Amino acid sequence: MNLKQEKKFTIDYKALGNRIREIRIARNQSQSEFALSFGLNQGDISEYERGDVRPPLEFLCALSEETSTSLEWLLIGQGSQNACKPGARVVIPDEFELVPRVNGSIEAGQGKIVQNDIDVLVAFRRDWIRKKGDPRRMSLINVTGDSMAPTLLAGDVVLVDHARNYVDPWGGIYAVNINDVVIVKRVQLQHKTGMLRIISDNTRYESFDIEPDRVRINGRVIWFARELD
């Protein structure tokens, strides 16, 4: 897929806030009650509804799933609001699903804090991406650093399936949070010790073992794109 052909959408955060308020009122909840449902404070919801602060991706995905609301409608006001309800059909031009690409980057190296603000929505063919999982639980993010070279290079864009927030028995490449920074690494479970081995494909970087409770698996990397000069 060539990201130069991606469909870009401008998100009106005040309009997004109005849609969040609409959902809350339909649930007959105060801001405090609504915030509690998602582990937030009343002030967070107030700022989101006013459009003063861009809601983090994790909240938007949780809101979409919890309320059976189309993420497309929630973000840009298009399509059917209730498209996620059983029997409903999402109508997206050209049979595309929209996956958010977040600002910031994910480090293939020493690690960095990743912003969760949504940059653009990238269109994937629905028949392809639904074979990979639930697109409502996915996001795209840029890669920096060289520790995963030659598999992943700086500037690559990776598709992360946040529903796969566990390490498969055979391992894989994951976005992981260690000490409040997010990195992309190959992760394998060491069955004899119960430790997780964090592996860099670039042999200049050493692998290391770490206790599973010190690692949060943000999701598995299931696809990447690379632009050619």
Rg of the chain over all Cα atoms, to the nearest angstrom:
19
pLDDT value for 193? 95
Question: For residues 187 and 167, is the Cβ–Cβ distance under 8 A?
Answer: yes
**Taking the domain 3-91, which CATH number applies?**
1.10.260.40
The domain segmentation of the chain, as residue ranges, is 3-91, 104-225
C-beta of residue 64 within 8 angstroms of C-beta of residue 81: no
pLDDT of residue 69: 86
> Helices (H) and strands (E) in the chain — how many of each?
6, 9
Contacts of 8 (CB under 8 A, 6+ apart): 120, 121
Classify domain 104-225 by CATH number.
2.10.109.10
Three-state SS at 152: coil
The whole-number average pLDDT for the span 196-203 is: 96
With 70 as the cut, is the pLDDT of residue 49 above it?
Answer: yes
Please count the other Cβ atoms lying within 10 Å of the Cβ belonging to residue 58. 14
Average pLDDT on 19-31 reads 92
Average pLDDT over residues 123-128: 87
Residue for token pair 């609001």: 81
> Phi/psi at 160 (nearest 5 deg)?
-110, 125
Average pLDDT of span 97-108: 73
